[in-house]
A and B are shown apart, each in its own frame.
Chain A
Amino acid sequence: MTAALSARMRVVRSSAFELDLDLELAPGERVAVMGPSGAGKSTLVAALAGFVRLDAGRIQLDGEVVADASVRGTTVRRGIHVAPMDRGVVLLGQDARLFPHLSARENVAFGPRARGHSRTDARRAADEWLDRVGLAGFGDRMPAQLSGGQQQRVAVARALAVEPRLVLLDEPLTSLDIQTAAEIRMLLADQLRSTAVVITHDPVDALAIADRLVVIERGMVAQHGSVREVLLHPATPFAQALSDHVRIAGRIGDAD
């Protein structure tokens, strides 16, 4: 079986920091990435999404090479770099970032429209997705008329409606209150069927949403394994802190 994501990434951001890590995901697998501030999480997201170029290495999605820094010749001086819009990678960030001038329905229909579906089909798909994220009947609302949690639900629907090859979740719950965050966490655990990389600072997210956990520190993989395994046997002080955090919350036992 070909991996859904196979990435070997090296991105030099400055003399003080570089990202250098490998990531391999099976189809449908959801991997959490955790690390202290400045560990390279944002750079990882930008590299996978296509907003920064690799300095070395290569990224394959469903077997297709979307970035390869080693291919250089007279025609491709700077290596292969597939533009963000052509990667089939969709990013769901901390802010919902809904298009403020479009209704909830048109926000969700945007991706299907971009992929060439007719207006009618795209709207039907959008309504189905709004229903799935618990916002049936909210299609005509403008983003400003929705609460933060509702906006994030629309963002989830919008991201998943394009049936992406890879979903990048970059701290999708951070700006929500605890109760809303819990609701969206449940929603993601429930609806997220795509291959996904979940960047988070909360081990509860990793437990709820992800199958595996990769701890990165200073741009490199510090530890990886099943979420439970890493939290039960932390190998670095940072992983230990994560482990302590969930131990206090008393959630490791509930994870299975």
Chain B
Amino acid sequence: MSSGTGTLLPRSLIVPALLGLAFLVVPLIALIARVQWNTFWDDITSTEAVQALGLSLGTALAATGFCVLLGVPLALLIARSSPRIAAVLRALVTVPLVLPPMVGGVALLFLFGRRGWVGGLLAEAGVALPFTTTAVVMAQTFVALPFLVLAVEGSLRATGADLEQVAAGLGAGRWMILRRVTLPLAAPGLIAGVVLSFARAIGEFGATALFAGNAPGTTQTMPLAIYTAFNGAGITQGTAVALSLLLLVTALAVLLLVRGWRGEAPRRGVPG
């Protein structure tokens, strides 16, 4: 990394670069150093921990699935709109990204709560969303969707509509163009988007806490379990540390899995 083009840049940049790296890595080392290994196994195999991990993985995967189902069409809409409309749509998608997740949770509560616009109708039908596992998935989808949309949209815009026109000229229908040209070419963005939105979903705390609550087994995901353990009266912080490590390892495993898959996918530039 230090050879090649890097040598033409100011050498002093190495100082903030290494500081930045240290700032990201050292806290995690500090976390691992605090692990109480004598109770570690019991901590991560406790009912709460296993439930929280299972719930986190399940809800985050479901949320990522919804992000793909809703986000890819939305990304397509933005990427193929006129520049002005695309700018407006992109701004709307970015809002939840800059919003504190807590505010998102409150907003979801106001819409889907018992007295909300949609929640009121659902309540009449006997359905209550807040403080259910469904609410966890909704909160995660709300905060993760922008990541997927922006990643996929960037990739779609880079590819452009040229090859879609070529495909149409060869007689391909709209679905065939989408399936065999547009989506395969957007694959790098889609994979990046899936990774980002999954990571965002599995780490989600604020919106979940407000909209879904903190009930072990139904809405207490890993981040909420960690928070509870850390603040819990009478419980050692060791549990929180052990759970944090478990979440860290899980996230890394997912990341490596997707990276490995991405390595196999053909990634070639568009000629011309």
Contact = CB atoms under 8 A, between A and B. Distances in A.
Contacts of B163: 97, 99
B265 to A, nearest CB: 9
Interface in A207-234: none
B272 A175 contact: yes
A186 interface: no
B162 A100 contact: no
Interface in B139-190: 162-163, 165-174, 176, 180-181, 184-185, 187
B263 interface: no
Contact of B162 (A97, A102, A113, A142): A97
Interface stretch (A15-23, A85-93, A190-198): A85-93
B266 interface: yes
A100 B269 contact: yes
A49 B169 contact: yes
B271 A95 contact: yes
Nearest to B266: A101
A89 B268 contact: no
A contact residues, range: 20 to 34
Contact of A101 (B169, B174, B184): B184
Interface string A102-136: 10000000110111000000000000000000000
Contacts of B169: 49, 84-85, 89-91
A91 B162 CA distance: 12
A144 B271 contact: yes
A100 B170 contact: no
A71 interface: no
B270 interface: yes
A83 interface: yes
B252 to A, nearest CB: 29
A83 B171 CA distance: 10
